[in-house]
Amino acid sequence: MYIIGGSKKNHRIAAPKSMETRPTSSRLREALFNICQHKIEDSNFLDLFAGSGAIGLEALSRGASFCTFVDNSKESVNVIRKNVENLGFEKSSFIALGDVITILKSLERKKTTFDIIYVDPPYEKKEHSEENAISYSEKIIREIDAHPFLLKENGFLFIEDIADFSQLQVANLSLISSRKAGKATLTQFKRQSFFLKKAATVALGECGFF
């Protein structure tokens, strides 16, 4: 794999040998950064289920000021660390090893905010509870929706999955687009502006809905 754009374009990226890691295709990476090209400069980026770190490294190459990489595989974290060092991004990176949901909750408690969050979980794996089992993607969407300070106003949340989230009911996120790239679907949400949301609520109230 290689970085496909920015200051480190064409630099090689090492990938974990484990078959559990599924690298994001160059086509999908290109689609992602075409969408957020005007937001990436100086952004704070969160790469969840980071694998090789390709998405976060691409973000740093294209001008992100900082990236937090999270993965529950020690092998993946070691590969990310190697890639970060080889590309000279040590001062603009933080790498966390552990359960992604647990670390996300820790970031919530610390009031850490991000401009862009990218989520690429195992497609078939689910988070189990006493009531039901939902995908990691849905779990994370709901976490970010319930704790909106994780994503800055007008920030982007991207989900790479095979699932369709167009009918998912959320309060603080707006579905912007959903596009196919091979087997995967790249779904984009945007964090609603507080003022726009308040204005919409007032308008509904004026129409007698509240």
Stated pTM of the model: 0.87
- For 186, the token pair is 């790249």
Percent of the chain that is helix, strand, coil (3-state, to 5):
35, 30, 40
How many structural domains is the chain composed of?
A: 1
- For 2, the token pair is 């290689």
- Does a structural domain hold residue 9? no
- For 150, the token pair is 């994780």
**For residue range 70-91, what is the model confidence (pLDDT) as tens digits?**
999 999 999 999 999 999 999 9
- Does a structural domain hold residue 7? no
CATH number of the domain that residue 101 is part of: 3.40.50.150
- Does a structural domain hold residue 43? yes
**Choice among 10-24, 73-87, 148-162, 179-193 with the minimum mean pLDDT:** 10-24
Cα–Cα distance, 93 to 58 (Å, whole number): 12
- Does a structural domain hold residue 70? yes
Cα–Cα distance, 141 to 159 (Å, whole number): 9
φ and ψ at 8, to 5 degrees? -110, 25
**Cα separation values, 195 from 66, 113, 124, 155, 192, Å:** 27, 18, 37, 14, 9
Q: State the chain's maximal CA–CA distance in angstroms.
A: 60
* Domain coverage including residue 94: 26-206
**For residue range 107-164, what is the model confidence (pLDDT) as tens digits?**
999 999 999 999 998 876 665 555 567 888 999 999 999 987 899 999 999 999 988 8
